[in-house]
Structure 1
Amino acid sequence: MSDKEKKEIEELVPQSDSEVGEKIIETVSEVTDVSKIEKEAPATPAPAFNLGGNRDRRKNERRPSRRPERARQEFDNKIISVRRVTRVVAGGRRFSFSIAMVIGDKKGRVGVGIGKAGDTPIAIDKATSAAKKSMITILLNNKNSIAHPVEAKYSSARVSIMPAPGKGIIAGSAVRVVLELAGVKEVSSKILSRSKNKLNIARATIKALEMLKEGKIKKTKD
């Protein structure tokens, strides 16, 4: 019998219990060694999934707005009267708008103007340009109040304005609009006529404030 045949017979013969136990111990030790290696090896982090897509990146990478920034207006404005005028012609009726506007810088300059046009935006532009042409500069004291009482009349409207320290602006109708846009504070006003025409009242207020140029400025102590 050759050596090769003997080896094949030995492999077919069942091994003893001791030999089998030794082989089991060897395999267990190998497994434990592998577990140690796995513990010592750094764990690779799990890939993070962004469920929200690229929203955060899009927020940071937004394109700059192409719209030019609006320049701050030199004057504040407020419309006090809007009238729609109808004119009957051979072809039918034609409508136009008449707008009365007050503008001011709240630093002592104020003006009133009227604009007439077939479209409202054009009428507003005309009223603004007319108000700029008629602007006046008011003499105020260090508390942005007037130095002395004034009273003026324009058409059928009559307005009286008096200093009122510590009371703010006590006024109504178009008088208040003119005083606020002119930057006048701590005054009291009264409409002495029955006229409800806001344009005439505003012009009477402007006329009264113009009288402050004739008086002297009185500086008040804090």
Structure 2
Amino acid sequence: FLGVKPLIEKLERRNAKEANLPDESFLEPSDSESDEDDERFSSDSIRRRVDEFDRKCKRQSELLRSFAEAETLDDAHKIMTKIDKFEQRHLSLPLEYRVIGDMMNRLKDSTGKERFILLQKLNRAVRLMECKEAYDPSNPANFGLIQHQQVDSPDDVIDNAGFDKEKQMIQGESLDDEDEEFNEDKEKDDMLIEKLNAIEKKIEEKLADLDHTFGKKGRVLEEEIKDLVEERNSLTDKKRRPMYRKGFDVKVIDVNRTCKVTKGGQIAKYTALLATGNYHGVVGFAKAKGPTAKIAIQRAYEKCFQNLHYMERYEEHTIAHAIQAKYEKTKIYLWPGQMRSGMCAAGRTVETVMYLAGFSNVKSKIIGSRSPLNVIKALFIALNAIETPKDVEQKFGRTVVESYLL
């Protein structure tokens, strides 16, 4: 009665049609030269993941069997608690699917206006989940390795090294000691954290000694500290695996060079601003600094995919209504355009970001500062403030139609 049968039949027909296609049709272009160097796609890693999943299923079946054979209510309650913790940790269902299930249960008893609003929410939630699954960061098929030279790693890798314990405290008590640990990489991570902590302690001790040491001994201590820092950076570089997402395109918006004059000479720094998008509503940007332009662009490239936004497109080509936004001294105006009217953008920055987001018919105007970073931030504020017809329907509980139908 939900009216999803036609959608199911459509998906079955599409799957049957795709089953007859050769495997080459599913290959997507990648920035990396090959996937042979990636350990995740090797036969051993795939077999390891399959064995890990089999062990999880066997453990769950054992817990369910022991729950069915429990003699007292107390034993059944303990086993049920253990099952809940196990499924929450290893076989957890995404929160979005739980929300969709709750809305479907509410839809059975709803009528009138409440039923209409629930249908709209369900439709939007399903579309959002399809978009998330297409670019799911936990799916290895959506990722590849960035081919580049190793550079100094950011300090937040070390600062967040103990995040697993904080996450465990937030989620609650862990499973009993008798439960298996299915993550084989945890031991390697623990060893790496121990090495990093030991190196950090040595660096702190030598820095404390350096305050009271002068002459040749002081220079020797400085060299030892440099060696320890290089060792620490090499360890974090091995752990860090910068990724990109397939289907996304990255454009360089601006590269700025600054120079600091010191007694020893001039120190140059570069700032890179990049934007990324998949031409289907998902867009993001990032800014990074580095001693050279190449390193700055590389760092911004890695940060781009940590700042993604989904922009709703009206009729898949423009915005729903006119909007204006302001960021510091920059004010931007956006107007929707007719089909095939083209992009009348107020500069290369706005045009690049709008094309990456999938907008093809939008007019824009900028008043005030035209700094690329300010323009991008004002543009994102404006795009996030746009209300689609579905948002208006949910806000007022009324059906939105075209004005010529009134």
* TM-score relative to the length of structure 2: 0.35
Say which is worse superposed, 127-136 or 181-190, in terms of deviation: 127-136
Kindly report which structure 2 residues correspond to 1:57-136, keeping only aligned pairs within 5 A, or say none: 68-69=33-34, 73-136=246-309
Superposition deviation, residue 142 in structure 1: 2.6
Correspondence for 1:199 = 373
Say whether 1:208 aligns with 2:359.
Answer: no
Instruction: Give runs of ≥4 in structure 1 deviating > 3 Å.
Output: 67-74, 217-220
Q: Is the 8 A contact 2:311 2:384 kept in 1?
A: yes
**1:148 corresponds to 2:148:** no
Q: 1:162 — aligned with what? A: 335
- Measure the CA separation in 2 of the matches of 1:117 and 1:143: 38
Aligned sequence identity (%): 29
Return 5+ residue gaps in structure 1 as ranges: 1-66
**1:182 has 2:351 as partner:** no
Determine which structure has more spread, i.e. the larger CA radius of gyration. 1
**Cα displacement string for residues 98-147 of structure 1 (whole angstroms, at most 9, x for unaligned residues):** 01111111110111211100022211122123332222100112332211
Higher helix share: 2
Bigger relative contact order, structure 1 or 2 (CA pairs below 8 A, ≥6 apart): 1
1:69 Cα shift?
A: 4.5
Distance in structure 2 (CA, Å) of the matches to 1:155 and 1:141:
28
Q: Which has the higher strand share?
A: 1
- Please give the alpha-carbon distance, in whole angstroms, between the structure 1 residues aligned to 2:401 and 2:359: 15
Gap change, CA 1:98 and 1:68, over 3 Å in 2: closer
Task: Report the counterpart of residue 26 of structure 1 in structure 2.
Answer: none
- What is the aligned residue count? 153
Instruction: Determine if contact 2:316/2:358 at 8 Å carries over to the other structure.
Output: no
Q: Give the Å deviation of 1:73.
A: 4.6
1:216 shift after superposition: 2.8
Return the TM-score normalized by structure 1.
Answer: 0.62
Q: Which blocks of at least 5 consecutive residues in structure 2 are unaligned?
A: 1-31, 36-143, 145-244, 391-399
